[in-house]
């Protein structure tokens, strides 16, 4: 048995895995979506799993952006409240996989302290709270880590140096589920650290100024965070989880893990399309090399995700290779409409499915 559930997470990601082990059904949660996801879909999913007598082997946060972490913060807040009241938890959680900003992007280089100094200035702190900057994920990540410790959860068990990354991560076996970490690598983190230092050099004074317009503009130029990316395999089927990772990093990680074939490619049953279909994180070459039967895109048009160009790359690459595919979208967007108009599914060999607006999940039964 191997199932993937895509939860309705508006412009974010939230997915669960269901797998078997000698008659025992096991579960994992990957990301929790933005604010509102917990009450929209994630709580329903946790209640379903608990009603079936299940628990979560682990909760994985691909990275500490609000559209991936907020729903898990809400879940852990409920677990905290239940613990404080002496009530049984909604669901038991075995472990949390979380790469903190201080361990990944900062890495002892003082990046976080420089940022904190800027936003803690008299002008910067209130502006930061109002701006909605993606960097608020730093604080959310720290908050989630504290909640996990208060709940007595193991954080990154089995991963040396408290980091989930390719250089030190062995293949993880959970019943019949095999997980291979394919990102980030230490080389990825080193490159991202350099990008963040350059960004701080350019924006440190802007953050401290507290100018809302300037903060909004600098927010658009923030470098990537480092996503935990992994291949999940059970019953001969595979799902590739990509977070908001970059396709070049993903290909490097797949290669380093020995998962690419002689032509530098691989095929999976399901590919969670990176970064909600943003064309900043993938290329046509990537979709020619990493192929799938089904492509999952969690997005609702904000901020312009998925990009039409990304969808065209997927469809054209599959058509060139004579591969029938299915595209599964959590929401109807203008780019999805334009794809079906400009590349009619019947003529280009693909199926297109959009989750109904009143549904909070879509299940894919792999085995």
pLDDT for 125: 60
Would the pTM count as exceeding 0.85? yes
pLDDT for 274: 97
Domain ranges of the chain: 2-365
pLDDT for 263: 94
**Residue whose token pair is 């880590």:** 145
* Nearest-angstrom CA–CA distance, 107 and 109: 6
**Residue whose token pair is 């990540």:** 141
Please give the full DSSP string across 201-250, using - where no structure is assigned.
Answer: HHHHHHHHHT-HHHHHHHHTTPPPP---EEEEEETTEEEEE-TT--HHHH
Which residues face 93 on adjacent strands? 56
pLDDT for 113: 86
Residues 6+ apart with CB under 8 A from 261: none
Residues 6+ apart with CB under 8 A from 63: 99, 137, 225, 226, 227, 228, 243, 244
Chunked into runs of 10 residues, the chain (367 residues) has average pLDDT values of 97 97 91 96 98 97 94 98 97 96 87 81 61 67 94 94 88 94 94 92 83 73 88 97 96 96 97 96 97 98 96 98 98 98 97 96 97
State the fold for domain 2-365.
Metallo-beta-lactamase; Chain A (3.60.15)
pLDDT for 103: 85
């Amino acid at each position: 048995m191997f199932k993937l559930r895509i939860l309705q997470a508006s412009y974010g990601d939230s997915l669960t895995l269901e797998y078997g082990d000698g008659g025992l059904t096991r579960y994992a949660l990957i990301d929790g979506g933005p604010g509102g996801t917990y009450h929209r879909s994630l709580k329903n999913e946790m209640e379903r799993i608990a009603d079936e007598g299940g628990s979560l082997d682990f909760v994985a946060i691909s990275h500490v952006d609000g559209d991936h972490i907020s729903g898990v913060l809400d879940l852990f807040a409920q677990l905290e409240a239940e613990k404080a009241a002496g009530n049984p938890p909604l669901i038991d959680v075995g472990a949390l996989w979380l790469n903190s900003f201080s361990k990944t992007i900062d890495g002892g280089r003082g990046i976080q302290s420089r940022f904190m100094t800027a936003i803690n200035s008299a002008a910067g702190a209130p502006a930061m709270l109002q701006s909605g900057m993606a960097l608020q994920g730093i604080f959310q990540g720290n908050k989630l880590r504290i909640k996990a410790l208060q709940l007595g959860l193991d954080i990154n068990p089995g991963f040396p140096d408290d980091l989930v990354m390719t250089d030190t991560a062995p293949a993880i076996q959970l019943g019949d589920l095999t997980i291979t970490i394919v990102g980030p690598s230490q080389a990825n983190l080193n490159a991202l650290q350099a990008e963040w230092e350059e960004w701080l050099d350019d924006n440190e004074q802007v953050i401290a100024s507290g100018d809302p317009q300037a903060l909004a503009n600098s927010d658009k130029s923030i470098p990537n965070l480092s996503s935990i990316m992994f291949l999940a395999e059970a019953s001969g089927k595979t799902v590739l989880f990509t977070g908001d990772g970059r396709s070049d990093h993903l290909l490097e990680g797949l290669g380093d893990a020995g998962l690419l074939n002689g032509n530098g490619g691989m095929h999976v049953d399901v590919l969670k399309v990176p970064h909600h279909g943003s064309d900043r994180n993938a290329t046509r070459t990537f979709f020619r090399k990493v192929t799938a039967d089904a492509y999952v895109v969690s997005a609702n048009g904000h901020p312009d995700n998925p990009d039409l160009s990304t969808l065209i790359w997927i469809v054209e690459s599959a058509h060139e290779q004579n591969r029938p595919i299915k595209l599964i979208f959590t929401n109807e967007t203008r780019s999805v409409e334009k794809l079906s108009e400009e590349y009619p599914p019947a003529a280009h060999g693909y199926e297109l499915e959009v989750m109904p607006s009143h549904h909070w999940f879509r299940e894919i039964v792999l085995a």
